[in-house]
Structure 1
């Protein structure tokens, strides 16, 4: 009996090892045995509205394995099938996006109330298909065993999003669609498309053609964003691009097939330099020399949240022509995007030009305003009415709370959690996306190893994000999202590097019940995702494997501490100008740093294999990190 018990434990352990899912489902119960996918396996469905999900699963399995499975309506007695079935009586526990998945030696059954739930069930099934080394064709070469398991799953939040900024760098349509594909596999359901900013206007507005003929292009520049040379007189604007309305429709349809709603953003009244390059009459300054910004420094930031714009990038709130223009913009945007929301920005609006403008001062006097900041409230209320008139809900960054927007306005909290808390307390719906947890353009490893950005955000910090603050009505928190600003992200490959693995962590924050989230338990599932990304050709960062270095100084003695983000990581180091490896000194306790011109070198290993990048820091850098 003892032998059988031990065998049972071993079988259960092996089954569990095969089931490494991101995001973690509500309930996962491994069962004995497995189901073998073969060329004879079919994908069947019980209702016509599930046909598109079945066809999508067939395509995705063909991309992931050597199998191309036929999809068809279900027969009376299905054998060797993946069955997609919609419940005749809705299961209240599952809601619109939940599902049940049952895998056994006989086949796989995925049950849901709605096709969206079936789709998410198929994404889980794809993660149950083992990862193998792809053949030169990019396909797997052997029949595949799916572990037997019973899964019940549904999301914690209704808003599970990622924002992609395509203004700072233009991403071609094919790149955007690939990015959407990757998000859908993680059960994310919202794609926030940041389409306009100072550095490029990316959406065709037929009634305002200069927005793209002028606003979509800037002079080519290399180097760090914010430090680039200004455009030269007569220099051609050749870098950029935009999406035609047909492109937009195609991407929207592509996203809908993957249960992703696109939220378009037109960022106003600040961040409007590309718009003003095309139509300078819409600013207070009427400056006809304004060009689409190529990444030059055009603002002075003072470190306390305040700043001064050196070039006018703000729409004039006192000019009726501005509202007439925006009415045209939002009329066309609303017609292209069937989702309920339009995001109108509202962030980082500099008001210095408004203070000096006679029209703005007259408007303030007319409306009884005492502070220039109230002009933004006036502006956003006008914009909200325009958007509502198009049948859409108004959404903006947390600065919109500075004006008297209506309770129906939805607030996206980015300056920490404070704005979201305030918004929820005043009856607004809230999407939590605080920079402290969700800005995935920040550095994710040691600053000496990562492309330079002004802030850092570790993978573990992303995973520890809790979107619902204590004492807040949780029904007001729609969910959360990660934001990828692209000042320093010129390619899809680097966008993927910055997005993953942090968005793997965020997907679990947004989907998985809070009591099912566990950092230590996430690690093996994270590493399984890395293997899947390798097989699929998706880029990601391995910064979580890198050493973490901190120092202290006391009595003029420098002490060095080493750490690793992932538990179970071994750290080896040298201070003697040798190259560290597995036979070098293993870190176990704080290290007194000897005097002299010493250099720290540190590397990490997991399971006896090299894991992270080598970190090299001279004594001067170690001193800078010291906390007195």
Structure 2
């Protein structure tokens, strides 16, 4: 080989292999790296070939202009350096949300059947650009992206995240910000939990007391669930609600980002805020207040519980159904999607059992068990929704007492309810708490504020939404749920959402065959850097060890594992602070007797990376057989 040829070959190898790795979340169906890079400049043109692509093209130009300061504009045409094309003849492989992206040194062409596909294509495009693309101000960067050919389309049609705004209220601006983040991850459903015991958040004009009274509670600090009861005459000043104009604005904002909003009005239980406004709709008709986070129930560890305060609508009272007709009439007019979520979960029936009206209704219906009244209640609610042109969607408890064939089930108590519903021919959204509850602790429970369960990112990533033996046609998709009892701010909502929502986005979008945890970890860490630039909060719990104990030969034994590859765990039990020169964990350790304290620090490549975890002997003893 001549010197000039050798030089050319070395330059070619340098150009091709010096490019940064392609780190996309969720992982596309097919990614084929090519040689070269595309450079974004002030003279880059953005064109769309059909009028339906205009909104997406304009959104792209706005997204690029904030960090680059280039002032790019979108125009109709067919020769843009960034070209957005809608197919004249649909590509059956891509469906309604798929796209292809072909980037070379000369141009980037995104092609789709529908605007939704173009929208998801530009999300991938921005992830190919440097992390500074997420900056909220103009920055100096080399705006290049690697040449690549991508074909992509979703595995599931329902890719959702639920946000609970009852336990803690989030402003209109915050909700839009949260939706915007989800859309960039190719989520297409925002489940909006609008009502519960702790606040009614949606204006119902025909029932003004729902927000005049039900949207407000007495201010309380401290751990939710342990707070003091309201005092007589204490003003209720904490809370808020969305006007119907707010709702329309948020719905329109989401629609532009191809996100469908599914509202939830949680009935017949979880209705304390509604009963604070209209106590006559309960069995006892006793006055109640919007709950500020007091312990108003007793849980017995096996899924059963008792309410200390009534929070359930009376299924035997016709006024309840007149009330719900008014509520759902106004809700249905605000949300254009086919579904209204009606809750149906954790409905305590003790007050029903003691109510003469409920007993008379049971006799009239010829039912022996009070639990069956929920089936009657839900059938009445479904008739109301059907009259509004809506479909009933509820948590898996709606299966108890029977539901119509057209009802859709959201399986949260593990996967059992989803399996049962699918076998009965119901459509199902899989959202089991064991994989998808984003309010659970993400790492060691001694680090984050306490909550009753934990869920690591790796476990969320491992989830398979289609259970064995279930016909996949009944599984609409899946969803992560963020309950907000312990989440008072958007910043902390982000912390709890990410990186687990990154993991779930890949579960719901990407082909099952491309899932690879070590590969995802690399991409996740690149998205940590992107989130830092975009000022989005996230948890770094993946860098903390998993610490377990058991008893072996009468001795307390320590076992530790890393959630991600490449972690080194160093520990001490002699009341010294651990570092990389301390004992390195490699196998289970028998701990000595006595009042020891375990301290563990994680390192990678010789650098500290996780939280310091400190556990006294009593704490270690309590972990036997757990975690």
Structure-to-structure mapping, 1:471-510, within 5 angstroms: 471-510=469-508
1:330-345 matches, within 5 Å, as 330-345=328-343
Task: Provide the rounded CA distance (Å) in 1 between the counterparts of 2:230 and 2:371.
Answer: 32
1:39 to 42, 53, 76: 42
1:16-55 matches, cutoff 5 A: 17-55=20-58
- C-alpha contact 1:38 1:143 (8 A) present in aligned 2: no
**Residue 76 (structure 2) aligns with:** 73
1:222 to 2:221 alignment: yes
Q: Contact 1:66 / 1:142 at 8 angstroms: preserved in 2?
A: no
Report the alpha carbon displacement of residue 607 of structure 1 after superposing the two structures with TM: 3.1
Gaps of 5+ in 2: none
Deviation at 1:132, TM superposition (A): 4.2
- Residues of 2 paired with 1:339 and 1:306: CA distance? 34
Return the offset for 1:292: 0.3
Partner of 1:192: 191
How many Å separate the matches in 2 of 1:199 and 1:588? 48
Match of 1:449 in 2: 447
- Which residue, out of 420, 423, 426, partners 1:425? 423
Once the two structures are superposed, residues 88-117 of structure 1 have per-residue CA deviations (whole angstroms, 9 ceiling, x without a partner) of 110000000000001100010000000000
**What secondary structure does 1:616 align onto?**
strand
Alignment map for 1:347-358 (pairs within 5 Å) = 347-358=345-356
**Is 1:327 aligned to 2:330, yes or no?**
no
Q: Work out whether 1:248 is the aligned partner of 2:222.
A: no
Matches within 5 A, 1:239-318: 239-288=238-287, 290-318=288-316
Instruction: Give the Cα separation in 1 of the matches to 2:75 and 2:544.
Output: 48
What secondary structure, in the 3-state scheme, does the structure 2 residue paired with 1:626 have?
coil
**Matched residue of 1:225: which SS?**
coil
Q: How many residues are treated as equivalent by the alignment?
A: 622
Which of 370, 373, 396 is 2:371 aligned to?
A: 373
In the TM superposition, what are the counterparts of 1:98-113 in structure 2 within 5 Å? Answer: 98-113=98-113
Aligned match of 2:60: 57
CA distance 1:534–1:322, shift in 2 (3 Å): same
Separation of aligned partners in 2, 1:134 and 1:357: 57
More moved, 21-30 vs 142-151: 142-151
Give, in whole Å, the separation in 2 of the partners of 1:337 and 1:110: 31
In 2, the alpha carbon distance for the partners of 1:480 and 1:627 equals 30
CA contact (8 A) 1:26 1:512 kept: yes
Give 4+ residue runs of structure 1 displaced > 6 Å after superposition: 1-10
**CA–CA distance in structure 2, aligned partners of residues 457 and 207 of structure 1:** 42
- 1:37, 1:83 → 2: CA distance? 13
CA distance in 2, matches of 1:5, 1:436: 52
State the Cα RMSD in Å. Answer: 1.8
Deviations 1:381-406 (A, max 9, x none): 00001011101111011011112211
**CA-to-aligned-CA distance 1:14-37 (integer Å, 9 cap, x gap):** 44x431000000000000000000
TM-score by length of 2: 0.96
Structure 1's 386 and 130: CA in aligned 2 closer, same or farther, altered over 3 A? same
Aligned counterpart in structure 2 of residue 611 of structure 1, from 597, 609, 612: 609
**How many Å separate the matches in 1 of 2:66 and 2:147?**
23
Offset from partner CA, 1:468-508 (integer Å, 9 cap, x none) = 00111101000000000000000001100000000000000
| Distance in 2 between residues matched to 1:416 and 1:404, nearest whole Å | 19
SS at match of 2:289: coil
Q: Structure 1 495/324 Cα, relative in aligned 2: closer, same or farther at 3 Å?
A: same
- The corresponding residue for 1:386 is 384
| Aligned equivalents of 1:115, 1:95: Cα separation in 2 | 11
| Partners of 1:50 and 1:115 within 8 A in 2 | yes
Distance 1:587 1:109, change over 3 A: same
Cα-to-partner distance string for 1:354-407 (whole Å, 9 max, x where unaligned): 111111111111111111111100000000010111011110110111122111
- Structure-2 separation of matches of 1:341 and 1:372: 28
Q: How does 1:515-534 map to 2 (within 5 A)?
A: 515-534=513-532
Could you tell me whether the CA contact under 8 Å between 1:38 and 1:67 is conserved in 2? yes
Relative distance call for 1:593 and 1:35 in structure 2 (3 A) is same
Q: CA deviation at 1:42?
A: 1.8
- Aligned partner of 2:361 among 360, 363, 367: 363
Deviation at 1:569, TM superposition (A): 1.3
CA contact (8 A) 1:134 1:141 kept: no
Tell me what 1:232 maps to: 231
Number of the residue aligned with 2:178: 179
- Give the direction of change, closer, same or farther, for the CA distance of 1:357–1:254 in structure 2 (3 Å limit): same
SS of residue matched to 1:475: helix
- Asked whether the 8 Å contact 2:67–2:132 carries over to 1, the reply is no
Separation of aligned partners in 2, 1:95 and 1:244: 36
Residue 432 of structure 2 is matched in structure 1 by 434
CA distance in 1, matches of 2:516, 2:11: 28
1:213-253 superposed Cα distances (whole Å, 9 cap, x missing partner) = 00000001111111111100000000000000000000000
Mapped to 2, the partners of 1:91 and 1:340 lie a distance apart of 26
